[in-house]
Each structure stands twice: as C-alpha cells, then as structure tokens.
Chains A and B, each alone.
Chain A
C-alpha cells in the first residue's frame, strides 16, 4: 500500500462513517475542532479503522496513542505504526 492509497482509505473511512465532506479532510484538519467529532466518534473511528485495515487495537497498549490522535495525518501515522512490519511505501516517483 502506498502512502497516497493509505490517505485515500483513511479519508473514505471518515466520509463513510462520519458523513464528512472529503474536501475538508486535509492532512492537518483537527478531528474535533475542525471536523466536529466527539468522544463517541473517536471510539467508532477505532472500530472502523480496525475493519478497514484489518488490525486489532489493544486498549492497554494503544490507549495513549489513540488519545494523542488529533488530525487526519495523525490517523495515518497511527496506522503505519500498527501495520508494521507490513510496509507502507512512499509514493512511487
């Protein structure tokens, strides 16, 4: 999976799950202040990401990392970490 593919899939999750508008989903968009998500949405975001990327969040291990997610970019970074050692390649030139 390339980085742009990862970003597209994250955006698709946000559009499908939270009915957000894709043009609003720039890398630094704040999930709570800019996009209007709340504490319940953050729980559902994790469930949706687990389904989309086929990984399991372990609360005891991942709680702090999830709590630190603020932006679309942060979500992508979290997924990259969770999916190691599955490579996420930079975009091919």
Chain B
C-alpha cells in the first residue's frame, strides 16, 4: 500500500509565555526571556539545590475550566496537555464523529507522570498513609501514560492511544510515531505532542547529573545560553504542545485548513552513552530523517535545534549540523534561551513555533547567544533579532537523556 501524505491541521500550546499559540509566538518574537528566579520556593523544597531559576507558566490556567470528571485524574502535566489538545482540535475543527470513529488516535507523552502528584504519593507513603489516605485518582495522575490516557478520555477518542516516553524527546517522538501511523493508514487523525510540569523534584534530577544552569541565579533572564561560550547548563520550564496530524486525504475531504506537511522522521539510540550526546549518532539521525523525507540537506531553510545550553549537548549538535548541512549553509536557532527547556513538551512546542515561523515567514534567533562558543562554530547561528525571511522546509531536532535522538522534517504544504 502506498504511504499517505500527512499534514498538520491544528496546533495548541501552553508555554512559559502563557496560554495559546499566539501567546507563545508573541513572547518569542518579543525577545524577552520567560525564565525567572525560583530561589525561595525551591530552596525550601530542596536545600542545596544549585539551579534556582525556571520557566513556569506566566499565566495560570483555571483547573476548574476542565470538567471535574476529567480533571480528577489529571495532575498539572495532563491538565496542560488537555488545554493544548483542546486548542489544537478547535483549530483542526475535527468533528465529534471523527473522535468516536476509531480512526482518530492520541500519541502524547511526558518525561514522567505528574511530578507534584508523585511527590504527594511519596509523602503519603513515607507517612504510612498510603494507599488508604490518598485520592483514588493519584495513580492516573502519576502513571507514565497520564497525558495520552487523559487526553484520549477527555476528547472521547476511541482509536490508538500510545505514550512513547522518551524524556525530553518524548513529544517529538510522539509526533513522529503519529506520522507513521497516518502514513500507513492505521488512523486518519492523531492528536499528538507532550507536556511536563515544573517541579523542584524534576530540577533536582538535572542538578544530580550536573546538567542544570547555576551561575545565573541572580540574573535568570541570562540563562540558558544555547551555543554561548558561557553556557552552564539548562533551565527547566513547563508547558504542553499539541499537534493535530492528519492524512492529507482526510484533511482535504473535510475541507480542513492545512498548516504544513510532515515529510520525514527518524528516532534512534545513541548506542554509546545514556547521558553524553555524541555527534555521530545525531548526524546519523539527521541523515536518516532527511532520507526518509526525500528532501536533500541543501533544500532545508532552517534548523530548529534542541540546543539546551548544556556544554556537551550543544557542541555535539552544532558539529553534527555543520557536518550534515555544510559550514554556515543553514540558519539555526534554539528557542530554549527564551522558554527554558520544557522537557517532554519541548519537541512539540518548538515544532509548533517552527511551523508558525514557516507560516509567518520569519526566523526567531537564539536568545542569550552573545559570544559564540568555539566548539559551536561553523553554523549560521541566528542571533541578531527576528529575521523576516520565507522558509519552505525545516528540520526539528530533539534529543533526550537515555541516548535518544529524534529528528522531524516539515515543509510548507503544496497540494
């Protein structure tokens, strides 16, 4: 059976800039940082925590906007996934009949279940109040597929429900797998993406592996610093990104607006180390995704980097991009200088921002890239304000602890 073309028909975002795709794009275009000091709160939670900055939602959502019968099984991670999914489905205008048809699925994930709910569970366990003293919904908030299950339940989806947990590459992998389900005719529409919430427990894990920024606690807006010589680690953020992916056939049949086309995807294991990213495996993933897309490297107009601001990760990624695309041939930026690392949401949120750049004909630079690091040179880093420039094809990189690399290739839709 020939593979089907797959298009984007809806986008939804809950980002450190606020609720909705527009709020995120306004924030990114403004060039202001969403990273703020979290010192007092986090030091109380974890004395000795070195990273005291984060990118929480600038605008709180009202949990009660979610009906209780759905909300009770959601921690903040799943609530944000729901809100982003709702926005994406509203834009896609997918009818209820499609939700219930068995031809629509959900592929959504996060780094873990809700960290706040996990902490509550630990507390109850330690105080011997577990399991009797906790809500029956706790399990549904902390289970690893909390986003996928809750999103599918809330929107009455009856097709495939998959949660490809892959830490910080979770949502990019979710989009890629959904793409393959649609290509192969297994489903007609997939609501896909990822989410994660900001919690000291999560930041502590990054501290543990010495991947978090800690030299900028007094100047939060100056970190993370992707590709900069003074970068010292990443900064955790929170949010959710949701993408409605659909077979071109289904989208055209129901007259949906098509926002972009997804052409290629690859995900693979580093094979060498769980925490040390290697150029060789990133390069391999880029080549595979380009090969899968049928687009040659010289046709790519923009690379949205993973670029977390870690010392090893940025250097390995810059070198791989240079090797695959040639020295200085393709503009590159990371959006983590703006929004921090939204972890399980980052792949989808940054993909959504890149799709909006493609639609609006602009490129957003890397914030906090002031002096290029020697080991990140040889790449056309965007760092001088927003450029109004049409782009046709772009690549989105997303990598994760655990040695997981993921690359997506998208282009402007042409019938």
Which positions in A face B, CB cutoff 8 Å?
Answer: 18-19, 36, 40-41, 43-44, 47, 50, 57
Q: Which residue of A lies closest to B134 (CB)?
A: A47
Q: Which residue of B lies closest to A40 (CB)?
A: B136
- Considering the chains assembled together, what is the distance between the CA atoms of A64 and B136 in angstroms? 19
Q: Does B384 contact A (CB under 8 A)?
A: no
Instruction: For A47, give its contact among B68, B73, B133 (CB under 8 Å).
Output: B133
A-B contact pairs, 20 of them (CB 8 A): A18-B68, A19-B68, A36-B69, A40-B72, A40-B73, A40-B136, A40-B137, A41-B136, A43-B136, A44-B135, A44-B136, A44-B137, A47-B132, A47-B133, A47-B134, A47-B135, A47-B136, A50-B132, A50-B133, A57-B132
Which positions in B face A, CB cutoff 8 Å?
Answer: 68-69, 72-73, 132-137
Q: Say how far A68's CB is from chain B's closest CB, in angstroms.
A: 19
Contacts A44-B136, A44-B137, A47-B136 supplied; 17 other A-B pairs, CB < 8 Å: A18-B68, A19-B68, A36-B69, A40-B72, A40-B73, A40-B136, A40-B137, A41-B136, A43-B136, A44-B135, A47-B132, A47-B133, A47-B134, A47-B135, A50-B132, A50-B133, A57-B132
- Considering the chains assembled together, what is the distance between the CA atoms of A41 and B69 in angstroms? 10
Q: Say how far B226's CB is from chain A's closest CB, in angstroms.
A: 44
Q: Which residue of A lies closest to B136 (CB)?
A: A43
Find chain A residues with CB under 8 A from B135 CB.
44, 47
Find chain B residues with CB under 8 A from A47 CB.
132-136
Find chain B residues with CB under 8 A from A43 CB.
136
Q: Say how far A24's CB is from chain B's closest CB, in angstroms.
A: 14
Counted as pairs of residues, one from A and one from B, with CB atoms less than 8 Å apart, the total is: 20
Find chain B residues with CB under 8 A from A50 CB.
132-133
Q: Say how far B128's CB is from chain A's closest CB, in angstroms.
A: 12
Q: Which residue of B lies closest to A56 (CB)?
A: B132
* The 8 nearest A-B residue pairs measured at CB: A43-B136, A40-B136, A19-B68, A44-B136, A44-B135, A40-B137, A47-B133, A47-B135
Q: Which residue of A lies closest to B67 (CB)?
A: A19
Q: Which residue of B lies closest to A36 (CB)?
A: B69
Q: Which residue of B lies closest to A43 (CB)?
A: B136
- Considering the chains assembled together, what is the distance between the CA atoms of A57 and B131 in angstroms? 13
- Considering the chains assembled together, what is the distance between the CA atoms of A25 and B73 in angstroms? 24
Q: Say how far B109's CB is from chain A's closest CB, in angstroms.
A: 23
- Considering the chains assembled together, what is the distance between the CA atoms of A44 and B136 in angstroms? 6
Find chain A residues with CB under 8 A from B72 CB.
40
- Considering the chains assembled together, what is the distance between the CA atoms of A47 and B73 in angstroms? 16
Q: Say how far A47's CB is from chain B's closest CB, in angstroms.
A: 6
Q: Say how far B72's CB is from chain A's closest CB, in angstroms.
A: 7
Q: Which residue of A lies closest to B133 (CB)?
A: A47
Find chain B residues with CB under 8 A from A18 CB.
68
Q: Which residue of A lies closest to B129 (CB)?
A: A47
- Considering the chains assembled together, what is the distance between the CA atoms of A41 and B136 in angstroms? 8
- Considering the chains assembled together, what is the distance between the CA atoms of A40 and B132 in angstroms? 13
- Considering the chains assembled together, what is the distance between the CA atoms of A28 and B190 in angstroms? 44
Find chain A residues with CB under 8 A from B137 CB.
40, 44
Q: Say how far B143's CB is from chain A's closest CB, in angstroms.
A: 14
- Considering the chains assembled together, what is the distance between the CA atoms of A47 and B133 in angstroms? 6
Q: Say how far B394's CB is from chain A's closest CB, in angstroms.
A: 44
Find chain B residues with CB under 8 A from A36 CB.
69
- Considering the chains assembled together, what is the distance between the CA atoms of A43 and B135 in angstroms? 8
- Considering the chains assembled together, what is the distance between the CA atoms of A44 and B135 in angstroms? 6
Q: Say how far A14's CB is from chain B's closest CB, in angstroms.
A: 13
- Considering the chains assembled together, what is the distance between the CA atoms of A27 and B132 in angstroms? 27
Find chain B residues with CB under 8 A from A57 CB.
132
- Considering the chains assembled together, what is the distance between the CA atoms of A80 and B73 in angstroms? 31
Q: Say how far B137's CB is from chain A's closest CB, in angstroms.
A: 6
- Considering the chains assembled together, what is the distance between the CA atoms of A3 and B179 in angstroms? 61
Find chain A residues with CB under 8 A from B132 CB.
47, 50, 57
Q: Say how far A42's CB is from chain B's closest CB, in angstroms.
A: 9
Q: Which residue of A lies closest to B71 (CB)?
A: A19
Q: Say how far A59's CB is from chain B's closest CB, in angstroms.
A: 9
- Considering the chains assembled together, what is the distance between the CA atoms of A1 and B283 in angstroms? 73
- Considering the chains assembled together, what is the distance between the CA atoms of A18 and B136 in angstroms? 13
Find chain B residues with CB under 8 A from A41 CB.
136
Find chain B residues with CB under 8 A from A44 CB.
135-137
Find chain B residues with CB under 8 A from A40 CB.
72-73, 136-137
Q: Which residue of A lies closest to B132 (CB)?
A: A47
Find chain A residues with CB under 8 A from B68 CB.
18-19
Q: Say how far A49's CB is from chain B's closest CB, in angstroms.
A: 12
Q: Which residue of A lies closest to B138 (CB)?
A: A44
- Considering the chains assembled together, what is the distance between the CA atoms of A19 and B67 in angstroms? 10
With a 10 A CB-CB cut-off, give which of B73, B134, B136 has the most chain A CB atoms: B136
Q: Which residue of A lies closest to B73 (CB)?
A: A40
- Considering the chains assembled together, what is the distance between the CA atoms of A40 and B135 in angstroms? 9
